[in-house]
Amino acid sequence: MDIAAFIAPLRQLRLNKITRIILLLVLSSTVLFSVLTIAYTRSRDSSYMFGIPSALLRSNTSNSSFPPLERVRIPTTPESNTTTPSEVHEDVLLNNGTHRANATLLMLARNTELDAALQSVRELEEKFNHQFGYPWVFLNNVPFSKAFKEKMTEVVSGPVEFAMIPPHHWYQPDWIDEEKATQSRNTMVEENIIYGASVSYRNMCRFNSGFFYHHPVLQKYKWYWRVEPDVHFHCIVDEDPFLKMEENNKVYGFTITLIEFEKTIASLWKTVKDFIAENPHYVAPNNSMGFLSEDGGETYNLCHFWSNFEIADMDFWRSEAYSHFFDYLDAQGGFYYERWGDAPVHSIAAGLFLPKDRIQFFDEIGYEHHPFTHCPHGAGIIRKKHCSCRGWRSFDYQGYSCMRKWERIF
């Protein structure tokens, strides 16, 4: 556009100098606005031409190869905090631009564990979830504090929900013989068994064994990744483990396997054998009995998957086989008369009711729960995944590990 061509007629008009200057400024502003409008439109269109939405061009850059996710917050109420509109999850899917499993990251935590919980969440967000934006669910047997909810909401990248555990899912049931349970706890204290005196620990083990997957806030989800306060994630997780499970027909995933304290589960295996004798149809062909027993099932070798890390399909826990199994165990009172843990209960069920090839060992996920660490096998994986752990620290082949027993059944 030739500005001089517009100025020439102005000179022929009988206008004073000030008027000509004003007209010139108005004309110049109009031309400049037109030029800028055209330039912006072309630059915006060129962003989409190369597959880059304008919103992402304005986002902060990161070391990840994945585009950053838009944060979407879930409206909650102080009473329940359990309602998540399905469209929130759809929005996260669209923002991420990739397929995502129907899954959540799950943590059971106390208000007093805020700092330890924040550490775990920050590390998993940094190593994994900032790329994928999976929702978080936090459960507590009492209401979460305002500080817990505010600080946790600041660090997560996906939707977040806080919910209370129903009392009948958490507390010791009335039908338990308290005198018998107290005597058992006192004996464990005398024998210096960890958590021997704790009723709350037993409540937690029973809840994790048979109730968490029935919580209303989890009913909309199929998959979960269990995360505990004060754990560490040592490697970049740049492949979605939920999709890996889904695409490879897996049901249960673990990183660490070890031996249980025998005195805490003295009657558990006998109870399992009684259940199987009454319900042989639940036992899967090609199961993992060789991992659980050295003599074809006569005795239990105490091997189990350490359940503070689990990536699993909640529909397995909701299944007829596991529901009947848990109800049978629960009726024996062993969660309180002894100290049955959710780790051996989950492990025995997965080992017997699933074919062994439906259980996934996540070698590539570096994980630490004091005092044990799993670090990926092989320097190549450690470098590729930018792991902060070293192979020599890995618990996998140390004395109390059951990894060799797991490997021998394949």
User: How does DSSP assign 142-197, residue by residue?
Assistant: SPPPHHHHHHHHHH-SS-EEEEEPPHHHHSPPTTS-HHHHHHHHHHHHHTT-TTTT
Q: Report the amino acid identity of residue 316.
A: F
Residue with tokens 């400024």: 25
User: What are the two backbone dihedrals, phi and then psi, of residue 360, each rounded to the nearest 5 degrees?
Assistant: -110, 125
Distance of CA 340 to the CA centre of its chain: 24
Q: Distance of alpha carbon 185 from its chain centroid, rounded? A: 33
10 Å CB burial of residue 234 (0-12, 13-18, 19+) is: buried
Q: Which residues have a catalytic role annotated?
A: 310
Secondary structure (H, E, C), 74-139: CCCCCCCCCCCCHHHHHHHHHHHCCCCCCEEEEEECCHHHHHHHHHHHHHHHHHHHHHHCCCEEEE
Q: Quickly list DSSP for 7-31.
A: HHHHHHS---HHHHHHHHHHHHHHH
Backbone angles phi, psi at 168, to 5 degrees: -75, -10
| C-alpha to C-alpha distance for 371 and 306, rounded to whole angstroms | 12
Contact 86, 220 (CB under 8 A): yes
Joined tokens for residue 2: 């030739």
- Given the structure tokens 């997560």, which residue do they identify? 156
Rounded CA-CA distance 115/123 in Å is 12
How wide is the angle at C-alpha 342 spanned by C-alphas 204 and 279, nearest 5°? Answer: 130
